[in-house]
A and B are shown apart, each in its own frame.
Chain A
Amino acid sequence: ETGVTQTPRHLVMGMTNKKSLKCEQHLGHNAMYWYKQSAKKPLELMFVYNFKEQTENNSVPSRFSPECPNSSHLFLHLHTLQPEDSALYLCASSQAAGVGEKLFFGSGTQLSVL
């Protein structure tokens, strides 16, 4: 399989649950990103990893915890989420983090928090 793969595609969780989103890229890229997409809002950058090191954390609440064990895999661990966290969570990768780098997005995980 090529490109950026995200699992699961859909997730429903209660506010007390703990779950994880997984992203895998098969493009040989060195940078990986988590974005949040809410209706009628701009895509919000959450985290950036470049060569496995976290380089950006856009003031994301601690109930979202990223993990990047290697350049091909990225996780987003979720715990004690709020209903307003319901959104489409997109993973992306690029050759390296920097200006003009083409972002390759996965299809996203549609998260619903009850």
Chain B
Amino acid sequence: QQQVKQSPQSLIVQKGGISIINCAYENTAFDYFPWYQQFPGKGPALLIAIRPDVSEKKEGRFTISFNKSAKQFSLHIMDSQPGDSATYFCAASRNTGNQFYFGTGTSLTVIP
């Protein structure tokens, strides 16, 4: 059973537009929700993360919105740039254990 469901699988956005990637989870014990960014030929790198005690976290053009009651969280990329073209993974982990549960990834293409 997939612990974290991510959508869409792929996304094409115009330069300057807003990219939105959504994730949903079932396990209410999850309490840490990171987003990773992966460029071709590279490993994933942590982009931004949130804990459920806040509903939003912003770092530069990247924002996580978190809805605890709906068990959903999303990544918003404002003013999307061609350099943002990458695969984005959401993940979740709980307050015990070493396991991160990853989504299936979203391939983002930002066209000039």
Contacts and interface: CB of A to CB of B under 8 A. Distances in A.
Interface stretch (A60-68, A69-77, A105-113): A105-113
Contact of B89 (A40, A43, A56, A100): A43
A56 B89 CA distance: 22
Contact of A42 (B2, B34, B42, B46): B2
Given A99-B93, A106-B43, A107-B42, A42 B101 contact: yes
Given A42-B2, A42-B103, A43-B89, A92 B43 contact: yes
Interface residues of B, number: 29
Interface size class of A (residues with CB under 8 A): 20 to 34
A56 B99 contact: yes
B4 A99 contact: no
A105 B45 contact: yes
B43 A105 contact: yes
B89 A99 contact: no
B96 interface: yes
A55 B46 contact: no
A78 to B, nearest CB: 19
Contacts of A41: 104
Contact of B43 (A48, A56, A90, A98): A90
Interface of A: 4, 31, 33, 40-43, 45, 48, 50, 55-56, 58, 90, 92, 97-100, 102-108
Interface of B: 2, 4, 9, 31-32, 34, 36, 41-46, 49, 51, 89, 93-105
7 contacts: A4-B43, A45-B99, A56-B99, A90-B43, A100-B49, A105-B45, A108-B43
